[in-house]
């Protein structure tokens, strides 16, 4: 049982320098760790979370109803084996679950940042992870793992610091979003920013927040996280009550009720401004935009990649993963690619799918063996 | 050049009986016709429009910039040849472009209906079309054609009145929406109904309308109308201005600008309540929910079907069309099925795609030949 911890990694006088040139301080980071760091400090695995994740990746804080979002993957004897590895997970920069973000106090004004929070990049997210590792006395990683936006961080980490990670596990990620991906993000942001309660992002403390916009954004995004087949399997055209449709505009089909619940429950745990920043970070991400520089860095790296996609994922379909693989292979970076069969779409990365978990376990076992841990 | 005409088909004293049991009157219908009805009245083709269409299917009302939405298909020498056929297109019941809908005056209150407008079904849409035909002195159709919701009307028409249509052309339609289809509709309606300017649907004359919700709905829907490949081809990740991203929340990628334009321009021509009704009509549509009854009606019909899908359509993918075909074949209804290659997704039905147009032309030529017209 590990409670979430917090640490101030950058201060106003010693701020974080962002890729944009902006400087940000203080930066506090919420994180959790699982397992024990070995004497050499060689057994650390960093878990990078996705768009709406948090630091609570594993364990349950003494409440079995509050298991971490990747608890099926991380733990004693699990694929990311905490008997062997020291696992670290932190809430991302710009987050709303303990790490400094747009809802945090702007020291220049004494009020929450709102949209005055600087825009950041995947590279910046990684630099904050690295600062946390320095704080924990860890110089390099046995592994880094993440799904979706998490996988983008893993990829960027190795590109920027190719000697720092032994095993890079990139799950259902993308080297750069497609026009359709950006389109969905853009509509989500429109829904939030055009909500009259958005108030230009300065809604904190006003008693009003863009709940409508945020829940619309979440409902729409949720459709893209699951496959058509899994929605059909789970809901089909079944009605919420009885056999006869209401023939009105109330919630009538089960899928409507489910989506509405997704939208509502999301409001309790997420901040609309963070949603804006995290989707924008993904839009701008373009891992191989400068292939000459990236290739020169990666050529000859000892980092081994595992790239995993799911065949029913239509948010970041297998082609996104293949593009990562093709680039890495061109630079002779060791890469194993696996497209896992799963009916559950993009959300598959959060599920306990045997082939998927076995693949991760085998990859990390080999890494541990090579490192003698 | 045909101007849009209007006719009152049902009155308060002689109302339209809806499938729900509700009665509605007056019902005025806006329609256009192209070509000339022959002496026998055997050369009529009905064009059923889709979710956001209107009666102006062809021609240009003297303004070449205002061509009808299916002008590439309908006209002299075109696949729906107005030298040969008398073509009728009407704005759907519940519409907002001339036909009685939620924005029309409710005779009980003297104010616009809003959500007091009764819910209707695809069957009701067809019954209004039939009333218009009676008004025009037409007893049966050489053909009925429609894409998407338009195709659903054609299918329902033949199911309800199997002797009334010689050639039924059902393009990229569905016999019943999938859970994912309903999910997208549900989010669109949420966006509209939760817009504070929606005012329970009674926004007419208040100077405020749910423009934000309607444009969000349209933007989201638009993503589903085009294929990922066509979005990539058209926009990719190209920026709106210059080479360097703004790194902010303004419109930066071309695809964002395009979507925003789609949302904004839609407001000028469409009513939010009509959007609610038309999406709900589609959710509830289930052509073969009672296969025994439908089969008994259709078995032995002389109506010939042409069912067309597009391989890149992911709103109603080919499987939706195949389900229609399988049912019809089981009842030995003559049906030709064609999956047309097109990169443009669901919107393909509006485009001039040679194989698609040739298929429609050949099918209607054969019908005309058989009818001796």
Q: B313 an active-site residue?
A: yes
Residue B2 has a pLDDT of: 65
Chain A positions touching B186 (Cβ under 8 A) are 219, 251, 253, 255-256, 259-260
Q: How many CB pairs under 8 A join A and B?
A: 134
CA distance B84 to A198: 57
* Same domain assignment for residues B154 and B196: no
Q: pLDDT digits over B245-297, tens only? A: 888 999 999 999 999 999 999 999 999 999 999 999 999 999 999 999 999 99
Q: pLDDT digits over A130-141, tens only? A: 999 999 999 999
Residue A2 has a pLDDT of: 65
* Same domain assignment for residues A192 and A98: no
Residue B61 has a pLDDT of: 83
Q: What is the DSSP string of B71-118?
A: TTTEETTSSEETTT-EEEEEPPTT-SSSS--TTSEETTTTEE-GGGSP
For chain B, how many structural domains are there in total?
2
* Same domain assignment for residues B247 and B100: no
Name the percent of chain A in helix, strand, coil, to the closest 5.
40, 20, 40
Residue B244 has a pLDDT of: 86
- Alpha carbon distances (Å) from B148 to B98, B133, B167, B275, B310: 21, 22, 17, 15, 11
Q: Identify the CATH number of the domain in which residue B61 sits.
A: 3.40.50.1820
Q: Which residues of chain B have a pLDDT value below 50?
A: 1
Q: Identify the active-site residue in A81, A271, A313, A347.
A: A313
* Same domain assignment for residues B11 and B131: yes
Are A120 and A5 contacting, i.e. CB atoms less than 8 angstroms apart?
no
Chain B positions touching A252 (Cβ under 8 A) are 283
Chain B positions touching A237 (Cβ under 8 A) are 176-179, 182, 286
* Same domain assignment for residues B170 and B315: yes
Contact between A182 and B237 using a beta-carbon 8 Å cutoff: yes
Q: A248 an active-site residue?
A: no
pTM of the model: 0.96
Residue B62 has a pLDDT of: 83
CA distance A77 to A349: 19
- What values do phi and psi take at B225, rounded to 5? -85, -20
Expressed as residue numbers, the domain containing A238 is 181-280
* Same domain assignment for residues B174 and B185: no
Q: A108 an active-site residue?
A: no
* Same domain assignment for residues A167 and A35: yes
Given CB atoms, is A237 within the 8 Å cutoff of chain B?
yes
* Same domain assignment for residues A191 and A305: no
* Same domain assignment for residues A146 and A201: no
Q: Which residues of chain A have a pLDDT value below 50?
A: 1
CA distance B211 to A155: 41
Contact between A176 and B237 using a beta-carbon 8 Å cutoff: yes
Q: Identify the active-site residue in B313, B327, B347, B348.
A: B313
- Asked which of A263, A280, A297 is the last residue of a domain, the reply is A280
- Asked which of B226, B250, B280 is the last residue of a domain, the reply is B280
Contact between A253 and B283 using a beta-carbon 8 Å cutoff: yes
* Same domain assignment for residues B214 and B314: no
* Same domain assignment for residues A158 and A59: yes
* Same domain assignment for residues A98 and A225: no
Residue A132 has a pLDDT of: 98
- Asked which of B223, B251, B280 is the last residue of a domain, the reply is B280
Which of B123, B178, B179 to mutate against chain A (most A CBs within 10 Å)?
B179
């Amino acid at each position: 049982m590990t409670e979430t911890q917090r640490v101030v990694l950058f201060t106003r006088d010693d701020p974080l320098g962002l890729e944009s040139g902006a400087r940000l301080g203080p930066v506090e980071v919420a994180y959790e760790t699982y397992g024990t760091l070995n004497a050499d400090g060689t057994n650390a695995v960093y878990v990078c979370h996705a768009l709406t994740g948090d630091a609570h990746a594993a364990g349950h804080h003494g409440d079995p109803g509050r298991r971490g979002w990747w608890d099926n993957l991380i733990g004693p004897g699990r694929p990311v084996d905490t008997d062997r590895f020291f696992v670290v997970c932190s809430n991302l920069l710009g987050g709303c679950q303990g790490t400094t973000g747009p809802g945090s106090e702007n020291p220049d004004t004494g009020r929450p940042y709102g949209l005055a929070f600087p825009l950041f990049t995947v590279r910046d997210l990684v630099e904050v992870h690295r600062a946390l590792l320095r704080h924990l006395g860890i110089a390099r990683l046995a592994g880094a793992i993440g799904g979706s936006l998490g996988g983008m961080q893993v990829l960027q980490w190795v590109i920027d610091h190719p000697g720092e990670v032994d095993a890079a596990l990139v799950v259902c990620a993308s080297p750069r979003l497609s026009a359709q991906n950006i389109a969905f993000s853009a509509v989500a942001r429109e829904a939030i920013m055009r909500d009259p309660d958005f108030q230009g992002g300065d809604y904190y403390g006003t008693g009003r927040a863009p709940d409508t916009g945020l829940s619309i954004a979440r409902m729409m995004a949720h459709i893209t996280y699951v496959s058509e087949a899994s929605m059909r399997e789970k809901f089909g055209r079944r009605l919420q009550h009885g056999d006869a449709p209401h023939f009105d505009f109330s919630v009538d089909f089960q899928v409507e009720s489910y989506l509405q619940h997704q939208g509502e429950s999301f409001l309790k745990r997420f901040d609309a401004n963070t949603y804006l920043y995290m989707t924008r970070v993904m839009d701008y991400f373009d891992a191989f935009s400068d292939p000459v520089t990236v290739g020169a860095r990666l050529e000859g790296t000892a980092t081994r990649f595992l790239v995993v996609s799911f065949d029913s994922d239509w948010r970041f379909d297998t082609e996104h993963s293949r593009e990562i693989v093709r680039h890495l292979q061109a630079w002779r970076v060791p890469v194993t690619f696996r497209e896992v069969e799963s009916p559950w779409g993009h959300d598959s990365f959060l599920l306990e799918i045997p082939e998927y978990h076995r693949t991760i376990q085998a990859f990390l076992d080999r890494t541990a063996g090579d490192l003698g841990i």
